[in-house]
Structure 1
């Protein structure tokens, strides 16, 4: 073990000390690139209970990616990206993990998180089509961004077919997307080293119809969408999922969810901008009728000064399940299970839902950011958090909340992001949560999250 630690420390030191490489990454029809992401993470009191032997987490993440593309014709291209990420956990101890199989040294799968063919303006028409494994980000990623939430930020891919039609005369883009997502990495293209990992708790099929317009309202982007998502359970014994070297229980979903939504991003005045998105959901989830609503909004004031100071205020509402009805009113984030406003809360949501599954929420936020240096940006935020209802995903999780209050707590977050040049970037993020009385008495210990990241890109 000491030898392994020495070897990794030496490797990291050599990598960080090495000069940035510079290369022409395009040669004829070929293009390529690579990056290496190094992270050190400290988390205090996962589960908000300091007495738990697994409450504190300390680990490193090493992710490397290599990608390439080939331009067959002016309209047809192919692309692929190969990734690997390993982890080393210094805490918790493997013997303290509640489910057998925790790996202190973890070497993940070597897999393609992009493998697609792109057809641009087919036959000179406004229609383009992309087929295969690809990233999908719609709007601000509120409901569509993360296809693989169980592996953290290692990948976000979707197995999908996306058709885009450009209506130039109306300044409008129409997307029709078909998604077919496997619960694990066991289907083509499988990991090259045979590693089988869970990526989501269920098998997912979906259809997204998304329209983007820039001309109906001056200085405003308007989006409208319809989403259908079908969930088919992945029934492993005790709903145990394995990823990141850690086996953990997480239940599958079943059912059919429909969502209709609108999004607007408007420039109200030279210094003022407003972004708002709302969606209504209906259908069935886990043998219950679903009726839920969500709203996400932000007002921004920008100063035209040397530091590019910006101030913002946000409000988000995600309906919770009303325990007095037989229906399910908890808003489903669909493919939005990623740290949209908090890295720390990703680890606390399993107290009442699942990893990264934000729901049953009211959030008020104020924040400030500034370009404190030509290479560096500082962002500071405060979030006041409430639950919409005193309810949880399962009856077993009810012991984690008090049932007497809906205030989740005060959350403070700060980011320091830097980009030294096109080859070297990084960040430092820190978060602190003061839990409120919504949580049970044994789950009100303060919690923090700290992460250091360095990215080398070629």
Structure 2
């Protein structure tokens, strides 16, 4: 596709901002449409915790534009498609320090949603969604992002999902099949021919999930997950997305996971969320046996500002170097910034991009609705490694081997919604790394992002 055509398509996505009045009024048409434009300015200091590296600091802008359309054939059958594009401009590092970096990067124009929905199948309380879709299970601790390498541009899964609602027992049952390609080369390919890595390997899997709302004042869930990773061995393990190539190893695995989750109110003010999972199988020619726990207590003051305090603890097992088995927790499809934007950039020191594992994580925080349009939250995170050993042998030089404290992490958010169409946020994070990392990898690091999002 020519550069003029690409420019035209991008311009068309952005120009749709001027058309909001055309969809402001509700209609009875079977076709509905809309879109959004997101602008981000990002500053990251000391990626890799090495202040001497010429590529450790990043300053860049991200512009994402999306258009979607939904057509309902009747009350039970509908289709939806969404076209997405995101471009970036890197101000640092300098091209002279990182020749492989594209200072101006225009990514693929492609469908990040393209699915068919069916309801009341055969007159039963059964629905199905087939095609490219977004899936979030629970609070996304294990299943949320099928495309971790494109950095929140997309979250899609190529999947088929069936949901059965058993109202008599207050329970829904989900059966999900996932078939995720490692790059954007499979249908529906990008319209401008850009080929980008979305994950490091071909991933297929099955999820069985039950959600009950009648036994507790909230959710009580149980699930089984199977995930198969087939290696995609790009030479040198280099992946290309977001304008620059980077190393990220590919896995070969057959992983089984069995878990449970509860999210309930204990009192009028006190809420509890807890989830645990056991993983077994094989990964990279080793037997896998791993465990994870994620929990949070929230105390809500129920005052006019909705002040709330929370205390959380998360455990993800690490690989014991003295064992023949692999005890390292596998994050499955959850490599997204669940509690830190900055740590997404630091996990490759002993794992992969966004690959949280080998972790003791203690968190305390506060949030409040300080204005009708604005919410503020502040958090402190104390981080330790469960084992003094990385996920991959080549990373051994990046950690000290004689300490387990990952560091102190401070995070803060200001989220605001100016009106029904325009919203924004400011997030800032600061990491003071500890003795888990090698002496050359203990420089403080920060992350700052400003965002505006316009949707219609």
Match of 2:37 in 1: 36
C-alpha distance after superposition, 1:142-186 (max 9, x if no partner): 000000000010000000000000101000000000000000000
1:164-203 correspondence to structure 2 within 5 Å: 164-203=163-202
Secondary structure class of the residue paired with 1:108: strand
Contact 1:25 1:32 in 2 (8 A): no
Contact 1:26 1:32 in 2 (8 A): no
Match of 2:404 in 1: 406
Match of 2:415 in 1: 417
Match of 1:277 in 2: 275
How far residue 45 of structure 1 moved from its aligned partner, in angstroms, is 0.4
Secondary structure class of the residue paired with 1:183: coil
Match of 1:5 in 2: none
How many residues in Structure 1 have an aligned counterpart in Structure 2? 442
How far residue 24 of structure 1 moved from its aligned partner, in angstroms, is 2.7
Q: Do structure 1's residue 301 and structure 2's residue 299 form an aligned pair?
A: yes
Q: What is the alpha-carbon distance in structure 2 between the residues aligned to residue 445 and residue 290 of structure 1? A: 33
Contact 1:310 1:370 in 2 (8 A): yes
Q: What is the alpha-carbon distance in structure 1 between the residues aligned to residue 302 and residue 84 of structure 2? A: 41
Q: What is the alpha-carbon distance in structure 2 between the residues aligned to residue 255 and residue 366 of structure 1? A: 35
1:94-105 correspondence to structure 2 within 5 Å: 94-97=95-98, 101-105=100-104
Q: What is the alpha-carbon distance in structure 1 between the residues aligned to residue 28 and residue 249 of structure 2? A: 48
Evaluate the alpha carbon distance shift between residue 222 and residue 91 of structure 1 in structure 2; reply closer, same or farther with a 3 A threshold: same
Q: Do structure 1's residue 62 and structure 2's residue 63 form an aligned pair?
A: yes
Match of 1:144 in 2: 143
Contact 1:20 1:423 in 2 (8 A): no
Match of 2:245 in 1: 247
Q: What is the alpha-carbon distance in structure 1 between the residues aligned to residue 205 and residue 27 of structure 2? A: 35
Secondary structure class of the residue paired with 1:133: strand
Root-mean-square deviation over aligned CA pairs = 1.6
Q: What is the alpha-carbon distance in structure 2 between the residues aligned to residue 358 and residue 394 of structure 1? A: 14
Q: Do structure 1's residue 209 and structure 2's residue 208 form an aligned pair?
A: yes
Evaluate the alpha carbon distance shift between residue 325 and residue 65 of structure 1 in structure 2; reply closer, same or farther with a 3 A threshold: same
Contact 1:371 1:378 in 2 (8 A): yes
Contact 1:179 1:206 in 2 (8 A): yes
How far residue 326 of structure 1 moved from its aligned partner, in angstroms, is 1.0
C-alpha distance after superposition, 1:328-365 (max 9, x if no partner): 10000100000000000000000011100000000000
Match of 1:80 in 2: 81
Match of 1:439 in 2: 437
How far residue 422 of structure 1 moved from its aligned partner, in angstroms, is 1.1
Contact 1:78 1:116 in 2 (8 A): yes
Match of 1:122 in 2: 121
Q: Do structure 1's residue 108 and structure 2's residue 107 form an aligned pair?
A: yes
1:219-368 correspondence to structure 2 within 5 Å: 219-368=217-366
Gaps of 5+ in 2: 1-10
Evaluate the alpha carbon distance shift between residue 95 and residue 312 of structure 1 in structure 2; reply closer, same or farther with a 3 A threshold: same
Judge which range, 395-404 or 273-282, deviates more. Answer: 395-404
Q: What is the alpha-carbon distance in structure 1 between the residues aligned to residue 259 and residue 27 of structure 2? A: 40
Evaluate the alpha carbon distance shift between residue 64 and residue 295 of structure 1 in structure 2; reply closer, same or farther with a 3 A threshold: same
Q: What is the alpha-carbon distance in structure 1 between the residues aligned to residue 87 and residue 324 of structure 2? A: 44
Q: What is the alpha-carbon distance in structure 2 between the residues aligned to residue 234 and residue 33 of structure 1? A: 36
Contact 1:25 1:31 in 2 (8 A): no
Contact 1:113 1:133 in 2 (8 A): yes
Match of 1:452 in 2: 450
Match of 1:383 in 2: 381
Q: What is the alpha-carbon distance in structure 2 between the residues aligned to residue 325 and residue 95 of structure 1? A: 45
Q: What is the alpha-carbon distance in structure 1 between the residues aligned to residue 61 and residue 267 of structure 2? A: 44
How far residue 216 of structure 1 moved from its aligned partner, in angstroms, is 2.1
How far residue 123 of structure 1 moved from its aligned partner, in angstroms, is 2.5
Match of 2:3 in 1: none
Judge which range, 100-109 or 143-152, deviates more. Answer: 100-109
How far residue 18 of structure 1 moved from its aligned partner, in angstroms, is 9.0
- TM-score (norm: length of structure 1): 0.94
Evaluate the alpha carbon distance shift between residue 19 and residue 235 of structure 1 in structure 2; reply closer, same or farther with a 3 A threshold: closer
Secondary structure class of the residue paired with 2:255: strand
C-alpha distance after superposition, 1:31-64 (max 9, x if no partner): 1111000000000000001000011000000000
Q: What is the alpha-carbon distance in structure 2 between the residues aligned to residue 161 and residue 120 of structure 1? A: 14
Evaluate the alpha carbon distance shift between residue 242 and residue 308 of structure 1 in structure 2; reply closer, same or farther with a 3 A threshold: same
Match of 2:49 in 1: 48
Q: What is the alpha-carbon distance in structure 1 between the residues aligned to residue 45 and residue 96 of structure 2? A: 19
How far residue 20 of structure 1 moved from its aligned partner, in angstroms, is 7.9
Secondary structure class of the residue paired with 2:108: coil
- TM-score (norm: length of structure 2): 0.95
Secondary structure class of the residue paired with 1:341: coil
Match of 1:6 in 2: none
